[in-house]
């Protein structure tokens, strides 16, 4: 939230002294702010899975959330929250990600590495976020093993 406050403060200060940003600059600053929000939610999602924090997962996931994991298992929000009450993940890193924005939707594509009791998975993922009532929620998530990278124990 701090980057958004800083940008808003900067825009206000510039307008006050008569140097308002152009419409394109303001739009770019807004886009940067939305990307920062999505990155923050992505990090909250990652940490919540690591720490089995179902309270955070419940807040982040949309009521219509659906996911398909690297094993082909699909789950609803309730099933995902129930799973993460006890599912152990030793390590989960986001190796790369790209955010695409369109009005009230955001799509995040990237790669991640997960270490759990079953071994190490290097995966590609796509997550879709929806904004409603001023809040971003994770609507859909799909991940699969990266066919270009080997896994250490599968």
53 phi, psi to nearest 5 deg: -90, 85
| Model confidence pLDDT, tens digit, residues 40-91 | 999 999 999 999 999 999 999 999 999 999 999 999 999 999 999 999 999 9
Residue 42 has a pLDDT of 98
73 versus 21: which is more confidently predicted?
73
Residue 13 has a pLDDT of 52
Residue 12 has a pLDDT of 57
> What structural domains does the chain harbor?
2-145 (3.10.450.50)
How far out from the chain centre does Cα 93 lie?
12
* DSSP summary character for residue 69: -
The confidence band for 3, taking pLDDT boundaries of 50, 70 and 90, is: low
| Model confidence pLDDT, tens digit, residues 101-142 | 998 999 999 999 999 998 999 999 999 999 999 999 999 999
């Amino acid at each position: 939230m701090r980057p958004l406050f800083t940008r808003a403060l900067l825009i206000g200060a510039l307008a006050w002294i008569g140097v308002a940003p152009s419409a394109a600059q303001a739009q770019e600053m807004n886009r940067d702010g939305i990307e920062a929000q999505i990155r923050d939610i992505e990090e909250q999602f990652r940490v919540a899975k690591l720490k089995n924090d179902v309270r955070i997962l419940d807040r982040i996931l949309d009521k219509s959330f659906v996911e398909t994991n690297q094993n082909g298992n699909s789950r609803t929000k309730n099933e995902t929250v129930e799973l993460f009450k006890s599912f152990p993940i030793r390590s989960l890193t986001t190796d790369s990600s790209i955010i695409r924005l369109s009005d009230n939707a955001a799509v995040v594509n990237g790669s991640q590495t997960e270490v759990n009791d079953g071994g190490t998975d290097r995966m590609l993922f796509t997550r879709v976020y929806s904004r409603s009532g001023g809040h971003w929620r994770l609507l859909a998530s799909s991940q699969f093993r990266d066919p270009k990278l080997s896994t250490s124990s599968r």
